[in-house]
Structure 1
Amino acid sequence: MDCCGLLTLQKEPVPLKSIEVELEVRDHVATVVSTLNYENKEDKPLEAVFVFPLPGDAAVCHFSAQIGQTQIVAEVKEKQKAREEYDDALSSGQQAFLLEESDESPDIFSLRVGSLPPAESASIRLEYVTELAVQADDGLRFCLPGVLNPRYQPQGSEGAGVQVTSVPASLVPYSLSFSARVSSPRPISKVESNCSLDPLQYLNTDQTQATVKLAAGHKFDRDVELLIYYKDAHQPTAVVEAGQASAEPGSLMGDPVVMVSLYPEFPQSVMSSTASCGEFVFLVDRSGSMDCATNNTEQQETRISSAKDTLLLLLKSLPMGCYFNIYSFGSSYEHIFPKSVEYGEKTMEEALKKVEQMKADLGGTEILEPLKHIYSQPCIPTQPRQLFVFTDGEVGNTKEVIDLVKKNSGSHRCFSFGIGEGASSALINGMAKEGGGHAQFITGTDRMQPKVMQSLRFALQPAVEDVSVTWDLPKGSTVTVLSPPITTIFQGKRSLIYAQLTGQSSEAAEGCVTVKYSLAGHPSENQLHFSLRPAEDTGLIVHRLAARTLICLLEMEAENNEEKEEVKKKVVQLSVQSGVSSSFTAFIAVNKDNNKEIQGPLLHRDIPMAGLMGFAATPCCLRANISSFSPDYEVDYGNPLEFEDTSCYRDSDVDFGNLPEFEDECYYEALPDEEFPPAKKPPRDPLLQLVSLQKASGCWLLDPALAAALGKTNEEVEKSKPEKASSEVWATILALIWLHGFKMDAKDEWELLAAKAVSWLSAQKAPSVTECVEAGNILLGCSVQKTALGL
């Protein structure tokens, strides 16, 4: 069934030949210019359709096409008008280009290249700006999505969802070149990637500017992820950008706009006392795609097994006296307890037994229903709700899910985790943003556990209350804040504010912004003084990001507003004025200089994307002629009996509509048993082996299982115990010494559960701690100091 090569799944030539991406990063803001080169090698005119992912919060701000010597720059217009103009141009034999955002998810775009004559080439230029998210280790993350997984469309939901032709990564028939230029007021300490890079080249001696390139031969089996690290990353900054000279004064584009980045620092006294209460609700994806490998290494750990190991660490790290529950979901959902229960030895053990049995066997990815159920449960007084969501993020109703989180943002904080390549950035970032939490992406060779434990530390930070932002500007100047109000602040997490500045002020004038809040009952404030002099040549980046922020706010308002049409008009007006795309507008370009009409019937060609399921996400045995985003497309599924003769379909996240017998199932050709050797279970990680033996209170028991985890015999461990020490104290100190002696590289993962063990030891007031530490070091061959253990 090798029908791909330089062909689509329908054995048709693919007109997209190459993609060139140039990235410019200034501090924490990125400008991305993508050039897509098309060539029609057929003997008839073509319409090429390319559906591709972009970061969910990207502000698409330029779209143009070059055909021969002619360049056409696209305009932003109301979506329906743009579609009609595109269709009219094609029907009258003109060339046209249409770029639009999906109605269901702001991180999916469709590009139509219409009437490309035989032997003609076209070059499409697409530009967007985006903020770079701060990771737990202070790196700034840029992601160029190279993979578009099938988006599962829930039963009964509106919209047809995004239909994409997918092929295995090795068969994507176009190339990618990628280069980045980074500049910052602070030195760049390193740039890392999940893909092979050429070495980083510094452009000046103080290392504040550098370039880096993707090594040749990129395979479309992963997103291209860059992690950029600056020295002293947590410096608050403010950038003032002058308005556009041609824009109307008093409008968003005509006035100066300021972008303020704040990194509030909390007093150490407050930070050292983490909360010992809370209701922790864990929501875990068990759809079919969670059975995929987490990365492309040979160990082949699956996403679901990684999620189970992470739940083990989370459950061992929770404070005594809090409440918790675990939900899992696919096409249906399950929960371990009917409602959240108090955390203790009995409930922890019961939960761990159920976690151990979890499989990726619940079909599609319907996240909305379990979320509704969680939010319908009454909150527990004095136990603030913290929701942790783990998903590979392939849903078709992204906006609906984010809207639900926003409606319930007053009752909880939401921490979200995108697992694997192709997870929807719009979904993961949107849930965390609207839920006042933190988003993390686990890709490449990342381990899930340290990232999740960082978010648990955030969740255990005391909630910041009564946040207020005040501005002090020179007389005659006023400020209009464009960002939503800040409701949550975490230690080390950046808060961004965009504001429009109106009125005249002298070049030397200064402004000041003050953030006040209450933390664990203590009033606190952070101040930033900044110059009102506009920065040199920022290319309207700040204005466009501000416009995108305002557009997102208005789009959310339109979802829940009786005056939807009025709000929609505002969005269209702002989108057209700023040149930034929205869900209600599209970019349209028509080549009106083309004197000769394009003759002959127009052939439709879908450009395939990489799919990560090991096989094509649209099965080779299904015949589909789908026009993306067309509300009335038809799909011909051929004869369902063809499934009997094929082994090409493996992903149970694809919804086949009216084929009830086939929905949410995996199909294999009947092959002899010896062709499916049983998978070898990888040996248990020694760290997780030790962690699994810890009790909810924080202590370990002295038994053969502990001795084995420490690499000793039970007899050796028993014999070395100081005479006066109790078994539990001796066992717990041994476990702590082993963690500090052999697993310091994974300290992020066990730090919280070790702190719980230290608290338990302190409460025992044990007389022989010093002797236990000395004897434990001798037994395990370590030299860990008592103070290093926190005793």
Structure 2
Amino acid sequence: MTQTLERQAGGLYVQTPSQEQIAFPLKHTEVQAKIAGNISRVEVTQSFENPFTTTLEAVYIFPLPDEAAVDDMLIRIGDRTIQGSIKKRQEAQQIYEQAKQQGRTAGLLEQERDNIFTQSLANIKPGEQIDVIIRYTESLKFDGGNYEFVFPMVVGPRYIPGTTIEEDTTGYGSADAPMMQNQDTDLVPDASRLNAPILPMGTRSRHDINVTVEIDAGVEIQDIQSPSHQIQITYKGQVVLVKLGGGDTIPNKDLILRYQVANNSTQATVLTQADERGGHFALYLIPALQYRPEQVVPKDVVFLIDTSGSQMGAPLMQCQELMRRFINGLNLDDTFSIIDFSNTTRQLSPVPLANTPQNRTRAINYVNKLNASGGTEMLRGIRAVLNFPVTDPGRLRSIVLLTDGYIGNENQILSEVKQHLQAGNRLYSFGAGSSVNRFLLNRIAELGRGIARIIRHDEPTDEVVDKFFRQINNPVLANINLQWEGDGESPIIYPSTPPDLFAEQPLVLFGRKLGDRNGKLHITGIAAGGTRYQHTFDLNFENTGNPAIAQLWGRSRIKDLMNQMVSGETKSGVEAVTNTALAYQLLSQYTAFVAVSDDVRVDSTQGSVSVQVPVEMPEGINHQGIFGGAVYAAPAAGARVRQRRLAQPPQALMSPPSPAQAMPPSKETESLIIQRQSLYIDDAYPPALNVGSGLSEIDQYDLELLKPSVIESDEIDAELARMSPVQRLQVVSVTGLDQQLIYLLTQYLQSIQLPTGFNGNLVFEFQVNKGRVKQVVLDEQASTCQEQTVIEIIRRSLLTWRPLQKLTSIVILTIQIQS
């Protein structure tokens, strides 16, 4: 029977004589989780199958928990198991590509964000099934005795802001798709690795998922429930087995499992482990703080609500319900206001409003009229709320963000919060939906010294709101200090600066000390009314301890180091993350797992189809909100002959401009336009290559199109007044490029206009690969200029530079800036 491959929305299709059906390389996902006390150990098995008559490469973008310590990957072919090994990411990519070219079966597991991963599996034979097994450890979240286990199942569509680096050939960049695009930009240079193709509305894949969770808390477990899924519960003494219900196996929403334990054992718990790397410990503490209602401090609450297209329907309705309850739950002495954002920002009032019946009615009417549409320009909203006027400095400013977090420029948002949130202010995040961006919401709350709460779009809101007000109204445990008593150096503890604690919120610390000498850790702080709080933990390190503790410390260190680089990657930071990940065998943004078969399994001279696995739209998300008026809600799934690009005329490769780009630039913006050349390879259109079904492709040809780039004025408004042509940028030295490219790079950089008043040297290290600049890292120790705005402008400009040569090189660039 002849099969025909056809490139269409959402995947590769198999054409049979009787019907056309979509083909899915990912067949099934099996999840096995074992929970012991506060720690879960999870094994994820992804089963890929090749339904075609030619060799297949499958690429799958999927989520894992944002604080998961991923420490193992292997592939299983029949009765053979191939163990993966951790490598530096670039080295792992090279090993994978070489194995693919040789005809060996290979698997590559990479991390794009803390909660977004890419699994690539090369050289799957026709009709063959290959399993990829991933293992990770995670510390469960809990408040008091209430535990929560979460397994995410789908990556929601990410909105990508910024100036496009290269042309879009995926179909995401449609003007009818305000939310969804897959083009790399200067703000999100890895955007093409974040968004998987989404199935058209009404289309269902055959990919299903099964989850089994075994809970052994050491005590009786009670009140097990899931607000997200139908579950089956089996009791075996103190061990509980939880499985998904038979009719709830579509991977389109986070699995949320909640339960309680029968005593207060979680009030104070310490777990230890020791090996050749030192003594590791995990510490869990929930202070039993007493408070009186008269100690509640008057607050100034500013609500920031996401009204972009992804919020259309159930998510926005849930946020509106939350807002109504928030407004009615404020204390009488509180003040408040509301800001909402999508492509633009709007506000209820220019200053905080008193909490009167009239103002509450006015606010609720404002909330009821909100509509969802447009892109998620969250930076505009964050800047608006951080700069919102303060009329009473005596009030505690509390910012409450409501969003699904569907953006790709998370670090830009986190950097803004880290740099500009005023001391004493708090930022709380609420995610409403079935598959929200927990990474962003959790990190915003951490950097904002607040708390994060995730609520499904169909969950009751009253309990969540009541608990929120109990926490922010009650006194916190502040000025937390840690002191080590014992032999040897003090342990390295994360988070490095313990956060203030709200009522009922646990303190979770991970530490490591050199050697395994025992000691005591004293925790002190100031509770309500100035009362001194103190608690002491005895730390006894045992070689027979739980090895997961070491992995969790390594993961916590990586998280802390990455938080320090939200404003941009630094050489020392990247090296520290890489070294930690390699020492603890952990996946990170700079390391990857790779597994390769010993034998050559396919003929590398024959054609090979590569397909990106299409995914479900997250439950409750409206297709129209993501894709606008598009008939089909998904781009093509990336079917291609290995190392070849679709043959299209230049006009087809240039996506329509975004609404922001289509508007006439202001005079200020015009002064920031970087003049570039537009050129392309003369012989870019040889005879098309037909592959079975008529897939027209170009063999080894790439269109070079350097489009004019505008540095968006809203990114550097504060610096426009200081722009001056007298600012001079000189290229001091370049290694890794030939003289022609050094000349072109120098000309390019000298066309950039920078804010004046800054002097010094900047040293950058970056990769040039296939005509693209990637991973621009600042050598902060060799640089003397510390102005973040200047660094960011140059970094983004380097990312949009397009070398004409297809070289692969590591470039070290030294720049001198003089006013």
- Return the TM-score normalized by structure 1: 0.72
The residue type equivalent to 1:552 in the other structure is K
The residue type equivalent to 2:586 in the other structure is V
Paired residue for 1:278?
A: 299
The one of 205, 227, 241 aligned to 1:211: 241
Cα deviation for residue 589 of structure 1 reads 1.6
Is 587-596 or 256-265 further displaced after alignment?
A: 587-596
Paired residue for 2:676?
A: none
- Residues 138/605 of structure 1: CA separation in 2 closer, same or farther (3 Å cut): same
- Residues 272/661 of structure 1: CA separation in 2 closer, same or farther (3 Å cut): closer
- Residues 633/639 of structure 1: CA separation in 2 closer, same or farther (3 Å cut): closer
Paired residue for 1:264?
A: 287
Tell me, what secondary structure is at the counterpart of 1:558? coil
Greater Rg by CA:
1
1:100 touches 1:111 (CA, 8 Å); kept in 2? yes
Paired residue for 1:732?
A: none
Cα deviation for residue 595 of structure 1 reads 6.4
Alignment of 1:668-687 (within 5 A): none
The residue type equivalent to 1:460 in the other structure is N
Cα deviation for residue 177 of structure 1 reads 1.5
2:226 is the alignment partner of 1:193: yes
The one of 111, 116, 119 aligned to 2:124: 116
Alignment of 1:748-763 (within 5 A): none
2:387 is the alignment partner of 1:376: yes
CA offsets per residue over residues 168-226 of structure 1, 9 Å max, x none? 5861222211101111133211321135555422222xx2x221111224233432211
The one of 457, 464, 468 aligned to 2:470: 457
Paired residue for 1:57?
A: 67
Paired residue for 2:540?
A: 532
The one of 612, 635, 658 aligned to 1:606: 612
CA distance in 1, matches of 2:103, 2:656: 36
Cα deviation for residue 28 of structure 1 reads 2.2
The one of 344, 354, 357 aligned to 2:356: 344
More helix by share: 1
Alignment of 1:304-453 (within 5 A): 304-361=316-373, 363-377=374-388, 379=390, 380-408=392-420, 410-443=423-456, 445-453=458-466
Paired residue for 1:149?
A: 156
CA distance in 1, matches of 2:657, 2:623: 22
Alignment of 1:466-481 (within 5 A): 466-473=479-486, 475-476=487-488, 478-481=490-493
CA distance in 1, matches of 2:572, 2:300: 40
Cα deviation for residue 482 of structure 1 reads 3.4
Paired residue for 2:310?
A: 289
Q: Percent identity?
A: 21
| RMSD of equivalent CA atoms | 3.4
The residue type equivalent to 1:488 in the other structure is D
The residue type equivalent to 2:159 in the other structure is Y
The residue type equivalent to 1:522 in the other structure is G
Cα deviation for residue 598 of structure 1 reads 4.2
Tell me, what secondary structure is at the counterpart of 2:417? helix
CA distance in 2, matches of 1:449, 1:64: 44
Tell me, what secondary structure is at the counterpart of 1:593? strand
Tell me, what secondary structure is at the counterpart of 1:555? helix
2:279 touches 2:516 (CA, 8 Å); kept in 1? no
The residue type equivalent to 1:525 in the other structure is Y
CA offsets per residue over residues 678-705 of structure 1, 9 Å max, x none? xxxxxxxxxxxxxxxxxxxxxxxxxxxx
Q: Name stretches of at least 5 consecutive residues in structure 2 with no aligned partner.
A: 1-6, 164-186, 664-819
2:198 touches 2:616 (CA, 8 Å); kept in 1? yes
- Residues 318/240 of structure 1: CA separation in 2 closer, same or farther (3 Å cut): closer
CA offsets per residue over residues 286-342 of structure 1, 9 Å max, x none? 11232222xxxxxxxxx3233223222222222233321111111211111113233
CA distance in 1, matches of 2:635, 2:393: 56
The one of 23, 44, 49 aligned to 2:33: 23
- Residues 220/187 of structure 1: CA separation in 2 closer, same or farther (3 Å cut): same
Paired residue for 2:772?
A: none
Tell me how many residue pairs correspond in the alignment: 616
2:562 is the alignment partner of 1:555: yes
1:3 touches 1:11 (CA, 8 Å); kept in 2? no
Cα deviation for residue 577 of structure 1 reads 1.3
The one of 198, 203, 220 aligned to 1:166: 198
CA distance in 2, matches of 1:88, 1:467: 51
CA distance in 2, matches of 1:431, 1:559: 11
- Residues 635/203 of structure 1: CA separation in 2 closer, same or farther (3 Å cut): farther
CA distance in 2, matches of 1:632, 1:138: 55
Paired residue for 2:262?
A: 231
Cα deviation for residue 657 of structure 1 reads 5.8
1:139 touches 1:230 (CA, 8 Å); kept in 2? yes
Is 55-64 or 481-490 further displaced after alignment?
A: 481-490
2:491 is the alignment partner of 1:492: no
2:690 is the alignment partner of 1:658: no
- Residues 597/406 of structure 1: CA separation in 2 closer, same or farther (3 Å cut): same
1:194 touches 1:444 (CA, 8 Å); kept in 2? no
CA offsets per residue over residues 757-791 of structure 1, 9 Å max, x none? xxxxxxxxxxxxxxxxxxxxxxxxxxxxxxxxxxx
Paired residue for 2:771?
A: none
Cα deviation for residue 121 of structure 1 reads 2.0
Cα deviation for residue 603 of structure 1 reads 0.2
Tell me, what secondary structure is at the counterpart of 1:306? helix
CA distance in 2, matches of 1:77, 1:408: 37
1:234 touches 1:263 (CA, 8 Å); kept in 2? no
- Residues 402/480 of structure 1: CA separation in 2 closer, same or farther (3 Å cut): same
Tell me, what secondary structure is at the counterpart of 2:278? coil
CA distance in 2, matches of 1:278, 1:39: 56
CA offsets per residue over residues 501-543 of structure 1, 9 Å max, x none? 33344xxx6x4333222234423224143451538562x2111
- Residues 531/428 of structure 1: CA separation in 2 closer, same or farther (3 Å cut): same
CA offsets per residue over residues 623-665 of structure 1, 9 Å max, x none? 535499x99998989999xxxxxxxxxxxxxx9763659999x
The one of 514, 527, 543 aligned to 2:550: 543
CA distance in 1, matches of 2:318, 2:335: 23
CA offsets per residue over residues 270-295 of structure 1, 9 Å max, x none? 243352411101011111232222xx
Cα deviation for residue 130 of structure 1 reads 1.7
Alignment of 1:502-513 (within 5 A): 502-505=514-517, 511-513=519-521
Cα deviation for residue 144 of structure 1 reads 1.5
Tell me, what secondary structure is at the counterpart of 2:616? strand
1:477 touches 1:503 (CA, 8 Å); kept in 2? no
The residue type equivalent to 1:172 in the other structure is S
Cα deviation for residue 574 of structure 1 reads 0.9
More strand by share: 2
- Residues 589/381 of structure 1: CA separation in 2 closer, same or farther (3 Å cut): same
Cα deviation for residue 63 of structure 1 reads 0.8
Paired residue for 2:524?
A: 516
The one of 98, 102, 111 aligned to 1:101: 111
CA offsets per residue over residues 517-570 of structure 1, 9 Å max, x none? 2234423224143451538562x21111111110111122234478x1122111
The residue type equivalent to 1:181 in the other structure is E
- Return the TM-score normalized by structure 2: 0.69
Q: Name stretches of at least 5 consecutive residues in structure 1 with no aligned partner.
A: 294-302, 641-654, 665-791
The residue type equivalent to 1:513 in the other structure is L
- Residues 227/6 of structure 1: CA separation in 2 closer, same or farther (3 Å cut): farther
Tell me, what secondary structure is at the counterpart of 2:316? helix
2:44 is the alignment partner of 1:34: yes
The one of 560, 579, 584 aligned to 2:590: 584
The residue type equivalent to 1:183 in the other structure is D
- Residues 352/292 of structure 1: CA separation in 2 closer, same or farther (3 Å cut): closer
The residue type equivalent to 1:224 in the other structure is L
Tell me, what secondary structure is at the counterpart of 2:211? strand
2:278 is the alignment partner of 1:255: yes
